[in-house]
Structure 1
Amino acid sequence: MLTSLRNVAYALYTRRLRAQLDPANLPRHLAMVMDGNRRWARQMGFDDPRVGHRYGAEHLDEVLRWCAEAGIRHVTVFVASVDNVRKREAGEVGNLMRMIEQVVAERLARPASPWRVHLAGRLDVLPDTTRHALKLAEAATRDSDAEFHLNIAIGYDGREEIVNAFRSLLEEESRAGYGIDDIAQRLTADRISAHLYTGGQPDPDLVIRTSGERRLSGFLVWQAAYSELHFCDVYWPGFRKVDFLRALRSYAARNRRFGA
């Protein structure tokens, strides 16, 4: 009986939060640092904290549904940094990569998925099977009519992304026959942005990080310069719809100054 009352109260509160949101004041692009999978597993009493990666991967599917329901057409998720892949214990990394292959990539590649997949990061640091699964998901959705765009940041480093963008721009200019003085004169922030992993997409309006950590850890260093930040104390697998809606409500209530 008590559980039923709680469920009813939760549903009513969720509907109330949703009704308070003005579609005109929601982010066009939402970025998320999905942190705290292992800590959640320990909190829940699992003997092997790596099981949190599976719950975290499963939960992404649900959160993407919330984004689609809210009409948020661009989402970027921070799955793993270059250091995560290179420096963590091999068994943990292998488990995380399997979850990405079996849950994330497989589901996103389905014809019914409303998401068009874009990859952001150094795929060369990933295991062959993970790289292959992600590229298949990207290829399967490349020519689709999907109205939602999902950037998967994996093997990612924000500073390295900027270096790569500069390198790509310089190479493009050089092939066009421009010298260094001409390139310097033609250099603009917009032209650099076009060579980032998220080139052609709007910068994130809101960045959410779960687990209570108050830092971005090199995530979208360039793109998030004027983003609003929301830090949530719950771990990623425990990130509820009310937490999501509260973050959107907080964003909508802010007076964005864009650096002013």
Structure 2
Amino acid sequence: MLDKERMPRHVAIIMDGNGRWAKKRGLPRVAGHNAGMKTMKKIVDHSDKLGIEYLTVYAFSTENWKRSIAEVSGIFKLLVTYVNSELKELVENNVKVTVLGDYRQIPSDAEKSLEKTLEATKNNTGLRFNIALNYGSRDEIRRAVEEIARGVQAGNLNPEDITEDTISAHLFTGKLHLDIPDPELVIRTSGELRLSNYLLWQTAYSELVFSDVLWPDFSPEEYEKAIEEYQSRDRRFGGR
């Protein structure tokens, strides 16, 4: 039973297992991504119902460009389909969509659909739904360091004044960009036990929950199990 008083403000998810889900069924990988997109919609809806304030999903990493042209193309076509079919409901449910990563490198039709969603939901005040798209944490940190270095070079910042807060502020999630708090809970599906270059700075003290369930089969019930696991832990942040 979930404790409403101990609900994480921010949940981050690595949606893994679409390809294996499709392979088990003798289907093309893009069919797995299509099933995964439907699961993502369910989890967004359920997060809203649970009162979670921030949900961040790892949709496409900087490393995913190494995949086949057909698979990459299929992923972005599905993104366009999702945006076009769900935009009205996102607006009605007061969901605000934001993007982590350099999405301007994605195909133009996907970029246009995404910008339409960002514009339509920008004033919404409910669930903040963050899509990590063309995102890699090491690239994010590199960009932050570059911004800080330019500030030092311009004389706007002294090197001795650079703190952890300074670095945090310059990340995609930081107050200079989106002002998203660090996630309390990170969930990865499909049985893999790694972060895969995802929110490496922000997850320093996050609780990690790994599920063996492939992402397309990750139901709201499985989601609640992961949150229950989070709630069962004693978070000491290095203390006793």
Query: TM-score when scaled to structure 1?
Result: 0.84
1:198 maps to 173
**Whose helix fraction is larger, Structure 1's or Structure 2's?**
1
Give unpaired runs (5+ residues) of structure 2: none
SS of residue paired to 1:225? coil
State the 1:212 CA deviation: 0.6
2:16 maps to 35
State the 1:258 CA deviation: 1.8
Task: Specify which of 210, 214, 222 is matched with residue 243 of structure 1.
Answer: 222
Distance in 1 separating the partners of 2:231 and 2:190: 22
1:186 maps to 161
SS of residue paired to 2:92? coil
Residue 88 in structure 1 maps to residue 63 in structure 2: no
Distance in 2 separating the partners of 1:171 and 1:142: 29
Q: CA RMSD in A?
A: 1.7
Question: What are the superposed Cα offsets for residues 170-219 of structure 1, whole Å, 9 maximum, x if unpaired?
Answer: 334555x33xxx52121111121111111212100000000110001010
Q: What aligned pairs does 1:150-229 form with structure 2 within 5 A after superposition?
A: 150-175=129-154, 177-178=155-156, 183-199=158-174, 200-229=179-208
Same amino acid, percent of matched pairs: 37
Task: Specify which of 99, 104, 123 is matched with residue 143 of structure 1.
Answer: 123
Give unpaired runs (5+ residues) of structure 1: 1-19
Distance in 2 separating the partners of 1:171 and 1:224: 26
State the 1:46 CA deviation: 4.1
Query: TM-score when scaled to structure 2?
Result: 0.91
Moved more, 122-131 or 94-103: 122-131
State the 1:34 CA deviation: 0.5
2:7 maps to 26
Q: Which amino acid is 2:130 matched to?
A: N
2:210 maps to 231
State the 1:30 CA deviation: 0.1
Distance in 2 separating the partners of 1:172 and 1:131: 30
2:113 maps to 133
Larger Rg: 1
